[in-house]
Structure 1
Amino acid sequence: MKAVVFLGEGKLDIRSYPDPVPGPDEVVIRMKASGMCGSDLHHLNGALRTGSELVIEGHEPCGVVEIVGEAVRPSEAKVGDRVMVHHYDGCRTCRYCRSGWTQYCPNARTVFGGLDGDGGHADFMKVPAHTLIKLPDSLSFKTGAAISCGTGTAFGAIKRVALSADETVAVFGQGPVGLSATMLAKAFGARVIAVDVEPARLDMAKHFGADYVVDARKNDPVAAIRALTRNGEGADKSIECSANVVVRRQAVEAVRPWGTACMVGVFGKVEFDSEELIHAHKTVVGSLTFSKNQQEDCAQFVAEHRLDVESLFTNEFRLDEAERAYELFGQRKIGKGVFIFD
């Protein structure tokens, strides 16, 4: 099979590997869609890697079960099942693994597609059967790939702040995760204010249901959000998806007293005045991806509300176009990309 590996320092390679063979509790998936994620760029542009340090990339996998291991129960997986993958494994016995938050396993954590486990940028992917989540029949494989990281991450953040239909939420950053948050928050019934510096992304935010958009190049987003909210107090909740230290501070300042700001963009610092936290009684939380249960809930929510998650993808590629795909992605010349397979 063909597969994409990141060598570091901006270099990648397309290599041939033997087709995977499942262990007793594993399955092999024939890939149908494997999404590109902004966090891929951290791995692509990191330190040089060789030998055993190399893994097959891609942590937004979706496909069809091709082979099942001899110990896999039919209730877990059958040949032909359409599936997503919760792209983590762990010890399977700690409280985090048992509650579906495998990414926090302190004993034996594996992250498929970008850290220490082979991912979905390949013709086939081998994973433990317990990581599989059935893809609703009404959802496309590309939609399943989006839910497997970016859209699922947005769903997890909305759950983290306990967003309700009578609230206003400001979503900072309208990349794939932010646009997903805008779409999902609107489907939850909330009033949505989308913030970004790119006119094209703000136009997409309108398409996905934002009630208001704020161009942060032209307007102070904190002042603009306050002007759009009751008594100028600010939004009830905010979701920050850019990982920019200035924007993170704005996401805290833009919520009302007793409001909640959620940090989703990874890496970097979070800095704000202590008065925002103490005197204004605000809550600042972080949210890393989602639990296995939330991924399943997200898929059901998208299916029930008939949300057009697939349109988050602006470009499709084949595996042999990986170098060009990530060059365009890194230069922000495309939006969200996805590798598709026959």
Structure 2
Amino acid sequence: MRQLQAFGPRDLRIVEVQDPVLSSEDEVLIDIRACGICGSDKWYWSVDRLAAKIAGHEVAGRIIAVGDEVHHLRAGDRVAINNVQGCGYCEACQQGRYVRCANGVVHIGNGFADKVVVPARNCLKLDDDLSYAEGSLIFDNWGTPYAAIKRTSLQQDDRVAVIGCGPIGLAAVALVKSFGARVIAIDPIPERLKAAALLGAEACMTPSEVTAADVDIVLECSGKAASYELAQSILRIGGTLVAIGEGTAFTLTPKVLIHKHLTFLGSLYSSMEDGKQIQDMIRNGVIRPMSMVTHQFTMGQLQTAFGDIVECRHGLIKAVMVNDNRKE
């Protein structure tokens, strides 16, 4: 099969390798049909040597083979893959909440390839009405903000600020709107603010345009220190700050936390139940995940187009890799 390997800075190559094989009776082999390209995949463009891992974790495809202990799935099933693997045995894993595994999580990658082996428990059967591209966006792109919102006490007509309107933040905008709340979108990139407006944000502004505000909830999706500090300043007394964006350090001042009676929450990815609920929302027309997908690339095109994705050039907001040797 083919893999898209990173050999060094801006050096992606398609390499033929052996097909992966089932190593456990509870695994399945997936023929990858679509893989969303996440902001966290950008590291693949700037490695300084041959990368030990294959990027890509927003995967949907068709099952080719199942292990002997897999009884709820069969070859031919269309599935979306939850990208976080737990131990499978602890209480959280038994509930399909692998992100809370008591024994630690493993991030499933290898999506920039033709095939991948994953635990059967990480597979969500796709409804026939959903495309593979839609399926690839269920667990991370839409499940991540959905799980974060569920951790709050969001009420209809609450004022919610979404800081960072990349694909995760834009999904947050659409989800908050679907729950009947009012959304303020904050991002420095005009194209993202335009997309946020189309998804239902009632106010769209750059960070420098934000003045005094009084919001109930902030969903921080950028992972920038300045954004977390902005979030603390615009929350009302008794407000809630939800950390979704990572990769930074920031100052959380106890005086602000205490005097404003703030609630501070963190949320990582999504559960199997979250994925089922997102799929239901797509099927019922509540959300439209492809509305933010501006570009689709084949694996071969990614060799040169990845730089455009990293730099968000040509109006790119969200990209999906579709396998060019697949007919469905």
- TM-score normalised per structure 2: 0.91
Which residue of 1 is the match for residue 33 of structure 2?
32
Alignment counterpart, residue 339 of structure 1, candidates 312, 317, 321? 321
Q: Post-superposition shift, 1:19?
A: 2.2
Alignment counterpart, residue 89 of structure 1, candidates 78, 85, 89? 85
Would the alpha carbon gap of residues 239 and 109 (structure 1) be closer, same or farther in structure 2, given more than 3 Å must change?
Answer: closer
Q: How does 1:1-342 map to 2 (within 5 A)?
A: 1-7=1-7, 9-22=9-22, 23-42=24-43, 44-46=45-47, 48-49=49-50, 54-73=52-71, 76-107=72-103, 109-113=105-109, 119-217=110-208, 219=209, 221-223=210-212, 226=213, 234-333=214-313, 334-341=316-323, 342=326
Would the alpha carbon gap of residues 108 and 239 (structure 1) be closer, same or farther in structure 2, given more than 3 Å must change?
Answer: closer
1:2–1:14: 8 Å Cα contact kept in structure 2?
yes
**1:275-321 residue CA offsets vs partner (Å, 9 max, x unmatched):** 22001101111111112221222222232234221122111111112
**1:89-108 residue CA offsets vs partner (Å, 9 max, x unmatched):** 23211233223232343536
Alpha-carbon distance between aligned partners in 1 of 2:67 and 2:135, rounded to the nearest angstrom: 23
Once the two structures are overlaid, the 10-residue window that deviates more, 122-131 or 99-108, is 99-108
Alpha-carbon distance between aligned partners in 2 of 1:25 and 1:153, rounded to the nearest angstrom: 26
1:140–1:310: 8 Å Cα contact kept in structure 2?
no
SS of match in other structure, 2:130: coil
2:45–2:307: 8 Å Cα contact kept in structure 1?
no
Alpha-carbon distance between aligned partners in 2 of 1:122 and 1:136, rounded to the nearest angstrom: 23
Would the alpha carbon gap of residues 125 and 216 (structure 1) be closer, same or farther in structure 2, given more than 3 Å must change?
Answer: same
Instruction: For 2:29, give the aligned amino acid.
Output: V
Unaligned runs of 5+ in 2: none
Q: Post-superposition shift, 1:208?
A: 0.7
SS of match in other structure, 2:117: strand
Instruction: For 1:64, give the aligned amino acid.
Output: R
**1:122-173 residue CA offsets vs partner (Å, 9 max, x unmatched):** 1112111111011223322111111231211111111122322231111111
Once the two structures are overlaid, the 10-residue window that deviates more, 241-250 or 95-104, is 95-104
Would the alpha carbon gap of residues 55 and 251 (structure 1) be closer, same or farther in structure 2, given more than 3 Å must change?
Answer: same
Q: Post-superposition shift, 1:48?
A: 3.4
1:187–1:305: 8 Å Cα contact kept in structure 2?
no
- TM-score normalised per structure 1: 0.88
Q: Post-superposition shift, 1:205?
A: 0.5
Once the two structures are overlaid, the 10-residue window that deviates more, 84-93 or 275-284, is 84-93
**1:67-92 residue CA offsets vs partner (Å, 9 max, x unmatched):** 2222210xx21222221111222321
Alpha-carbon distance between aligned partners in 1 of 2:97 and 2:298, rounded to the nearest angstrom: 32
Instruction: For 2:27, give the aligned amino acid.
Output: E
Alpha-carbon distance between aligned partners in 1 of 2:273 and 2:45, rounded to the nearest angstrom: 29
**1:18-50 residue CA offsets vs partner (Å, 9 max, x unmatched):** 223334222111211101000112354356355
1:3–1:122: 8 Å Cα contact kept in structure 2?
yes
Q: Post-superposition shift, 1:222?
A: 4.3
Alpha-carbon distance between aligned partners in 2 of 1:128 and 1:86, rounded to the nearest angstrom: 10
Q: Post-superposition shift, 1:206?
A: 0.9
SS of match in other structure, 1:338: strand
Once the two structures are overlaid, the 10-residue window that deviates more, 81-90 or 168-177, is 81-90
2:178–2:286: 8 Å Cα contact kept in structure 1?
no
Alpha-carbon distance between aligned partners in 2 of 1:110 and 1:6, rounded to the nearest angstrom: 21
Would the alpha carbon gap of residues 198 and 267 (structure 1) be closer, same or farther in structure 2, given more than 3 Å must change?
Answer: same
The sequence identity of aligned pairs, in percent, is 34
**1:193-232 residue CA offsets vs partner (Å, 9 max, x unmatched):** 1111111111101111111112334x1x242xx2xxxxxx
Instruction: For 2:253, give the aligned amino acid.
Output: D
Alpha-carbon distance between aligned partners in 2 of 1:11 and 1:106, rounded to the nearest angstrom: 38
